[in-house]
Amino acid sequence: MKVLVTGANRGLGLALVHSGLKKGNIIFAAVRSVADKHIKELQNLKESYEGQLRIIHMDVTNEKSVKQAAEAVKLTDQYLDVIINNAAILNEREKTIEEVDLNAVLQAFDVNTVGPMRIVKHFLPVLRIGLRQQVAETQAIINISSEAASLTNAYSGDYPYGMTKVALNMLTEKLSVYLQGEPVEVVSVHPGWMKTAMGGDKAPKDPNDTADNIYRLIENGWKSSQFAFVDDTGHYMDI
Ligand code: NDP
């Protein structure tokens, strides 16, 4: 498979790159900065998995950069099979409504919600090339969401994060409807609480295990119920 991963330099993104490479996939690792110190681990992986890893420069908040990246992928590798919208920020943590900085809320929407929209807008045509050529066995758009998007389990604080992930889940549902009739699966995935910069040291999950589970999901599908929102083992999440 040819897989695009955003936010690929660290955390779950880096784990998704490594897990995908181990499985023999071609991975497009999209990063906001290509400075050496930012992508050191990706460069090491590039050496270990010769010919399988392309590092591409892309800021998900910049439509021009997303468009250019999509054109570059089309030029070098013709098509894509899977898009994993992973890049996100968690800002204004635990602030109350009186304290929250509204510009930071807009910034979170720009990265977490409009970012994946930009990606799908420009990369869907690249995905469709694979469909037309009938070379792809699995075609999927995976939006990495969060249990913080659950309306049933809403909690106080983290305003921007929860709101942006609910809106991301709506993007998933809208794309599922739009793509009905085309063999592209679309799903929001809660990856679990993971040990990353975002999740912190106390988190119980290793992002590498989550990444392996996500590839299993892509290969085997999930128990889709009324809404396309599952955890990394494919079980339905509360909306
Ligand atoms: P990290 O904070 O560890 O990594 C976030 C990644 O997103 C980094 O690679 C970062 O790049 C990238 N990013 C941020 N802004 C942009 C941008 N404008 N353009 C491109 N890339 C950007 O997060 P995690 O790995 O923990 O999270 C991965 C996903 O999992 C996210 O969608 C998150 O919401 C979700 N999630 C995580 C949980 C957890 O416990 N960790 C729990 C539930 C969901 P840079 O290094 O340049 O900043």
Please give the Cα distance from 94 to 218 (Å, whole number): 34
Please give the Cα distance from 25 to 8 (Å, whole number): 15
Please give the Cα distance from 25 to 28 (Å, whole number): 10
Q: Is residue 40 part of a domain?
A: yes
- Ligand 1 centroid to residue 88 C-alpha, Å: 4
How many domains, the chain?
Answer: 1
Which one of 83, 86, 113 would you pick to mutate in the ligand 1 pocket, going by the greatest count of ligand atoms within 8 A of its CB? 86
Beta bridge partners of 194: 205
Please give the Cα distance from 53 to 40 (Å, whole number): 13
pLDDT of residue 239: 87
**pLDDT tens track for 101-115:** 999 999 999 999 999
Instruction: Report whether pLDDT(143) > 90.
Output: yes
pLDDT of residue 32: 97
End-to-end CA distance of the chain: 30
Kindly report which listed range (28-37, 184-193, 222-231) carries the lowest average pLDDT score: 222-231
**The domain spanning residue 66 has which CATH number?**
3.40.50.720
Please give the Cα distance from 93 to 40 (Å, whole number): 29
Please give the Cα distance from 30 to 5 (Å, whole number): 6
What is the dihedral sign for C-alpha 120, 125, 126, 131?
positive
Which one of 62, 196, 201, 206 would you pick to mutate in the ligand 1 pocket, going by the greatest count of ligand atoms within 8 A of its CB? 196
Q: Is residue 169 part of a domain?
A: yes
pLDDT of residue 136: 67
225 pLDDT band (50/70/90 cuts)?
A: low
Q: Is residue 114 part of a domain?
A: yes
Considering the chain, what percentage of its residues have pLDDT values greater than 90?
A: 88
**Which secondary structure element, helix H or strand E, spans residue 159, and what is its range?**
helix 159-178
Considering the chain, what percentage of its residues have pLDDT values greater than 70?
A: 98
Please give the Cα distance from 208 to 193 (Å, whole number): 12
Closest-CA residue, ligand 1 atom 29, reads: 86
Q: Is residue 237 part of a domain?
A: no
ipTM of the complex: 0.99
Q: Is residue 239 part of a domain?
A: no
Q: Please state, rounded to an integer, the average pLDDT across all residues of the chain.
A: 95
pLDDT of residue 132: 74
Q: Is residue 153 part of a domain?
A: yes
pLDDT of residue 21: 98
**pLDDT tens track for 183-207:** 999 999 999 999 999 999 999 999 9
Q: Is residue 238 part of a domain?
A: no
Task: Choose among 53, 49, 46, 41: nearest CA to 14.
Answer: 41
> Which residue segment(s) compose the domain that 152 sits in?
2-231
Q: Which atom of ligand 1 is nearest to the CA of 7?
A: 9
Instruction: Report whether pLDDT(83) > 70.
Output: yes
Q: Which residue has the higher pLDDT, 29 or 222?
A: 29
Going across the sheet that includes 140-144, the strands are 53-57, 26-31, 2-6, 82-85, 140-144, 185-190, 229-231
The single-letter code of the amino acid at 237 is M
Which one of 32, 83, 91, 210 would you pick to mutate in the ligand 1 pocket, going by the greatest count of ligand atoms within 8 A of its CB? 32
The single-letter code of the amino acid at 63 is E
What does the pLDDT average to over 83-92? 98
Instruction: Report whether pLDDT(135) > 90.
Output: no
Q: Is residue 200 part of a domain?
A: yes
Instruction: Report whether pLDDT(137) > 80.
Output: no
